[in-house]
Amino acid sequence: MTIKLHCFGESGNAYKAALALELSGLDWEPVYVDFFGGQARSPEYRELNVMGEAPVMEDGDLRLTQSGVIQQYITDKSGKFGGAPQDKYEVLRWVLWDNHKLSSQAGVTRFLMNFLPEEKRPQEVIGFLQGRLKAAYQTLDTHLEGRDWIVGDGMTNADLSCCGYLFYPEPFGFDRKDWTNIDRWLSNIENTPGWKHPYDLMPGNPSDRA
């Protein structure tokens, strides 16, 4: 049974699940969600996911949403990315921190700065979110000092979660050159065999709408 992931290239949250699937070796395929065409706000999509969000994963009759849940399922099924048994709380800690402080705010900021018409971009909001994001980059960079991975000695869901928005080319106030430890850690991820950029892993990218 091929796992289906409802996703689109621009979504860093979908990327977190797609990259975990791709690197796990499980059999999967993307199903394109036309987010910018409003598909995620349709009644049919709300039926699929009351949260109105991508990604949604389907494995036979099982349907899961929230990238962190899909990652946990991939770990349960493939045995990968869960970290050492004693690190399970530390992996979950960074997944939750990412959802709370990093990907959530990076996703919104990137949307406001790139996918809204220029005259509709709320500059005070963008500045506010960029300030909060800077504090998040600082936290992650400090934690990565002397470490190759966020938890333990290899890639875990903590890495697959926190990197969600950090490979995208559209500006949102993040420049990896400003953060030595984050930059090195992102290179470790990129150099992992099988790694793919979000726009190479999932259908849909800004040039489709240009």
* Contact residues: a copy of itself, CB under 8 A: 50-52, 64-69, 72-73, 89, 92-93, 95-97, 99-101, 103-104, 108, 122, 124-125, 128, 132, 135, 139, 142-143
Q: How buried is residue 127: exposed, middle or buried, by Cβ count under 10 Å (0-12/13-18/19+)? A: exposed
Least distance from a copy of itself to the Cβ atom of residue 208, Å: 26
> Minimum distance from CB of 207 to a copy of itself (Å)?
28
Rounded Cα gap, residues 205 and 197, in angstroms: 11
**Is the separation of the CB atoms in 106 and 12 below 8 Å?**
yes
Rounded distance between C-alpha atoms, residue 97 and residue 55, angstroms = 19
Residue whose CB is less far from a copy of itself, 97 or 168: 97
User: Among residues 23 and 102, whose Cβ is nearest to a copy of itself?
Assistant: 102
Of 146, 148, 201, the C-alpha closest to 18 is 201
Q: Where are the alpha helices (DSSP H) in the chain?
A: 12-24, 43-48, 67-78, 88-97, 103-114, 123-144, 157-162, 180-190, 198-201
Q: To the nearest whole angstrom, how small is the minimum distance from the Cβ of residue 109 to a copy of itself?
A: 11
Nearer to a copy of itself, 67 or 205 (CB): 67
Cβ distance to a copy of itself smaller for residue 40 or 189: 40
- Name residue 127's amino acid: G
User: Of 86 and 191, which has the nearer Cβ to a copy of itself?
Assistant: 86
Shortest approach of a copy of itself to residue 191 CB, angstroms? 25
Give the nearest distance from C-beta 94 to a copy of itself in angstroms: 8
